[in-house]
Amino acid sequence: MLDGTTAEIKERSALRINPAKTCQPIGAMYAALGIHGCLPHSHGSQGCCAYHRSQLTRHYKEPVMATTSSFTEGSAVFGGMANLTTALQNIFSIYNPDIVAIHTTCLSEVIGDDIPTIIKKAREEGKVPEGKYVIHTNTPSFVGSHVTGFSNMVASIIKYLAEKTGKTNDRLNIIPGYVDPSDMKEIKRLLGMLNVSSIILPDTSGVLDTGLDGNYAMYPKGGTTVDNIKSMGDSFATLALGHFASHAAATQLENKCNVPAGFLELPIGLTGTDRFINAVRQYATIDIPESVEEERARVIDLMSDLHQYLHKKRVAIAGDPDHVIAMTQFLVDLDMEPVYVVTGTPGQFFERRINEIVKSTLPEFKAKQAGDLFEMHQWMKQKPVDLIIGNSYCKHIARVENIPLIRFGFPIMDRGTHRLFPTVGYAGAARLINEMVNALLDKKDRECEEQWFELIQ
């Protein structure tokens, strides 16, 4: 069953096999969970909401709370206004969130429900209490991916809530992209080392990485507060990390509140983190402390010490476009060869940017947006690689081809610690180098002849 892939590639125009993506509402739901006291709401059927919650729960190993409009056949014919207004009344009376973040699904998008009008009507009828907030974004599953859903929700949060009073608050906004809670926590740690006050939106640290103390909190302590989101319009600048997941929100804030925006890639690896640190330095007009320089020096030392194990190793990468772009740059920094690069998310920028990173050093590589894992596997059948970097869906390829897999990105459903250990920053770079070298050496130890089974590598 696992080895049903052939090396012969045939043109496919209307079929994706194991697409390296999932649907928009999952990203929108994840972004909403990064607001403190927020209850995500799925405007569609119960089955859609259950799937989206289960995917997030399987990745983060934490309960994900969300509500649904529970569409039936009647809703599909007459529209979902009655369902949504009743849902809002029940949500605030039973669960009492600070804010409800509505995202649409395929069914409600096909029907054409006017969500802003429904929200306005519910507020006029008193179904939304004073001091509470309701926002929405459009996320039909038949276009985009979970990354674009995340982007749409964060941009909508800015559109609904950010305000400009005219008084700069001396804080730097960070739109961190579709990354794990551990990554958001690492970004905050780096900003703390730089002594830069910040607002991170969304922030799922303290929400989807909580400890077990015997008490259940429907709304954990983490997340960006509504007051902080409002004050983002007074910050001195915004850094958007990741073209696909973050740039739309930063542009929205710049247009609405005239907050200058800087556009970066995810700070994964040496170059990505360097660019992030340097951008913070420039916007905040600060000097880089010695402690940050020491962290960077340790990563460079690690790259030098372990270069012999990584040099010229051929790598296949699949996953979210922002993650894959940043990882590709890191592999080039390590003198590795990212020969096959795939994302399921559409967007011409992806292939163009991968070409800029790789073409001069590796002219024979292959990159594809809106691609799938089946085609990447076919490329590997034609010419193998030494390492695969991607989410849990890549494990089938790794098993069939006997290639080490570094689990990276979303979703990771067959391991449990990724949400606690960062991939961003210098700490994340060190962790990734460690995982790659160990995976390659473990394979070598398993398969080498006895005379080459060395105690010291």
Count of alpha carbons within 13 angstroms of residue 348, beta-carbon side: 0
143 is catalytic: no
Candidates 38, 48, 64, 106; catalytic one: 106
Residue in the structure block whose two tokens are 């399987």: 58
Between CA 409 and CA 275 the distance in angstroms is 21
Rg (CA), the chain: 23
**CA trace torsion 273, 60, 41, 228 (10° rounding):** -40
106 is catalytic: yes
User: What positions carry a catalytic annotation?
Assistant: 106, 110
